[in-house]
Structures are given as structure tokens and as C-alpha cells.
Structure 1
């Protein structure tokens, strides 16, 4: 059971909803302990109230007096404005979690000008089904208890890895953007099967289960991906022929380039956001 009383989400989008669902269903947090706030989308607030029975208010109605943890889940470009608005009401007991891509803990600490624990939390879209891999990084004023709380909360939507903030860009390149790489792979596997006359739904299930099973083998065995690949590859067999085609068409290089390019873009976005002057 999570060791704090009330949680306030600043932002009420899909990531906030995924975390709210996990907190209620997996961690057993009472709905009345959770508040979600947005600026003007009344219909969205009504949807969250109807679905989860939480509190949902406009941003102007947010009160932080009875809140222990504040979770920032707005668009990154709104980060500075939101932090400036929250700043007068921040109190010594508050813990701030941020799911904002490209916004460093140092940047947030500079804006709030208080020695409060700020923790970056980077889930991916699989959080919607409780299967995220979430990276968390500690800010300057975070202690072990704060980090444990952040890790426990993040486990409501999947698995968690505590990483150095300097590795957040490459984490984003792998885990944040990674689901799209796998969907892209599945799209192409599906298309080949359909071109050969297979039913699309059957082809999709086959490809998806194959990817799921391979991933589970990596997670549940002590073998590395390289070892598992070698075990399934017989000399001059079908798998060897497929791998040869991947090599000849730059498959491995393409995957490496995708991760590197996404990580580079993450770094660029961070630098762009952090050029905004702190008032």
C-alpha cells in the first residue's frame, strides 16, 4: 500500500488516466484520495469522475493543502507556466513527480526555488495495460524514502528501473519510443502474411504472440538476446535465411539508428525547453 494520503495530478490526459487506473486497481488507493486537474476541458473531468469516482477540478480550483504528492502530467511546453502557478502553494511536505518528456529536474528545481524532492518519471504507452517499463530519476533533494515512494507508485503501471538522469535520453529512445518500433515491425510482418493470402486478423495474432513470446523468453530466462537468437538459428535454415536478409538490408543498423535518433531528439527537445528564461 502506498504510504501517502492524497495525490494530485496536474493534467488529465491519457498518461494521467493510466496512472490513476493503476493506483486504484493495483495499489488499492481510494478514489477520493486522487484529484485530477486540467485547465478547461470540463467533459474530460466528467469522464474521469464517472469512470474512476475520483475528484476532478479545474486548474484554478486546485488546493494543495491536503496533497502529499503532485504529479505533473501536462504538455512539456506548459511546464514553466504550470510550475510558476503552483510555486506559491508548494509546501515542505510535497513530493513532485514529473512525467514531462525533456524537462530536467534541475530546470524544475530552478523554477520552484524550494528544496523540494523532484523526481522524473518516464513511462511508456504500455502503461495503459499495466505493462510499462518506467524509468525514474532523482533530483537534488530526493532521499531514499522519496525514491521508494516514486518507485512504488510507478509499479502501478508496470515495471520500474531507477536510472541516472543523464541516461533519460537513451531510455526515451529505447522505452519511450520503442513500442512504435515494434508496432512498425508487426505492421510489416502482418503485410507479408496478407500478401501471401493469410487472413489479416490471424496474421496479426501470430506476429503479436511471436513478439510477446520472444520478449518473455528474454525476461524469464537467464539468456541474453544474442544467446537466444543463436539457439533458434540452425545453419542454412529458415531463420538463418531471414537473418541474412535483415543484415543485407541494414536491419540491425536501422534499429540502432532509430534508438540513437530518438535519443538525440529527446536531448534537443530538452535543450529547447530549457532555453526558455526562468522568471
Structure 2
């Protein structure tokens, strides 16, 4: 996700010279310098003049990183955390007063500029600094601002959500093959159907249920499929899965 955002920042017109990256693996750091023209250095040096500090590491590495950089973060800076499950308080307790903290949950479609970010501001984050973070993340997709107590729900719906869509795509492709299509054609049909349906949903003011009803003629093929889905509890299975993801997110974050 770190390189995904870096690529998006550069593509959006931000000057590579204004971007400083800390990467502990030198071979990787050299690759980032060559590909994006950014500076690379150690964490403490990287944060010293930064207006926005992005923390894009594994959750178990956050405490050590924050302890290392805390004395060097400008009190006027904003720390943007993309570490899953790490609460805002973990940063605020370690950083100087005045440092704004924003917690964000991304998802993988940010790789193609179609990501979804759920962001939650900490107590020192005013509207101006929050707006700057939102503008930064919008280079990788869309942004929704939510209170931190809703981050587990965000994780369950959009953070894990792409996997649900891929799960559906797997089933549709396999079903197409079962019905006689070759796999390449089944995949093409599935990809474009999901792409088109998502675009239609995004462009419509109608609820998904209404869009579904328009495709579902009485006793037609779609009606047969939806009826079978209902008989197999597909709706409740999806709801249960999302609830399970939210519970697991809460467990991991200690909330």
C-alpha cells in the first residue's frame, strides 16, 4: 500500500523532491529512488521536516517506529496511519501535544486509483489538516470521514470488501464454465458485468434493491437465480461474513 500511494502522489503531480521515504531494505530503497525520484533515508530523518507523516507498516511494528520518530516529529505535523487495527490513542500517547493524528483504512483497488479510504481524525486534528489528508488520499480513490468507533465496520465493508467481490467473481466464472463457456470467456463476461454493475450503481440515486428489481422479471432467468440464492441463504451468509470481519477487526485493535 505504501508504494501504491507513492505512485498515486507522483502521478497526481506532486514533486518527487518533496517526498521522503524511509525503507529499511536498501535494495528496495534504491528501487524507489530509481522509479519515482524520491529521497530515501532513516525514519527519524524522514519525519523531521514533514508536514504529513505516513505510517504504512505492519501493526506489530508501529510501537517501535513511533517511539523512534516521536522526538523528531514537528508538533505542527499530521501523522496519517494506515496500519490496520492500530488505534489513534497509540500515536497520541507517544507524540507531542499538537501533532494531529488521522487513522485510515484503505483497500486494494487504490492500486488502480479506485480505492476507498475510511478516515478518522484524532483530537488535535482540525478541519484544515483533515482536509489536507482527504485531498492527499483522494489521489488513490474516494474518502469517507467516520468516527473511530466505526473503523471496525469500515474494515469489514470496504477494507475486506474487495475480497468479497473476488469471491463472487470466482463463483460466477466457475458457474459459467459449468454452463459450457470456456474460462477466458467466462472471466471476460464476469469482469465486465461487475464493472458495469458497479458503474451503474455509482451513477444512480436508486437503492441497489431497486436496481436489482429492474433486472428481475417475474419467472425469468434472473428471478430463478435470485430465488435460488435466497433458498441457499446467500444474503444472510454475506451479512454474517461482514459481521465476523467487524468482530475480528475489533479483536485485533483491542476495541
Partner of 1:19: 5
Structure 1 position 87, deviation (Å): 1.1
Contact 1:109 1:115 (8 Å CA) reproduced: no
TM-score by length of 1: 0.88
Contact 2:52 2:80 (8 Å CA) reproduced: yes
Correspondence 1:214-233 to 2 at 5 A: 214-233=197-216
Counterpart check, 1:122 vs 2:105: yes
Structure 1 position 125, deviation (Å): 0.4
Secondary structure at the aligned position of 2:47 is classed as: coil
Structure 1: state its 5+ residue gaps. 1-14, 275-279
Say how many residue pairs are matched.
255
Contact 2:114 2:140 (8 Å CA) reproduced: yes
Structure 1 position 259, deviation (Å): 0.8
Q: Separation in 1 of the partners of 2:172 and 2:19?
A: 42
Secondary structure at the aligned position of 1:136 is classed as: strand
Structure 1 position 113, deviation (Å): 4.5
TM-score by length of 2: 0.96
Counterpart check, 1:33 vs 2:18: yes
- The root-mean-square deviation of aligned C-alpha atoms, in Å, is 1.3
Q: Separation in 2 of the partners of 1:134 and 1:164?
A: 13
Partner of 2:83: 100
Contact 2:81 2:101 (8 Å CA) reproduced: yes
Partner of 1:57: 41
Partner of 1:11: none
Counterpart check, 1:195 vs 2:195: no
1:254 is aligned, of 237, 243, 252, to 237
Q: Separation in 1 of the partners of 2:46 and 2:167?
A: 43
Structure 2: state its 5+ residue gaps. none
Q: Separation in 1 of the partners of 2:203 and 2:28?
A: 39
Counterpart check, 1:263 vs 2:249: no
Q: Could you say which structure has the greater relative contact order, defined with CA pairs below 8 angstroms and 6 or more residues apart?
A: 1
Secondary structure at the aligned position of 1:111 is classed as: coil
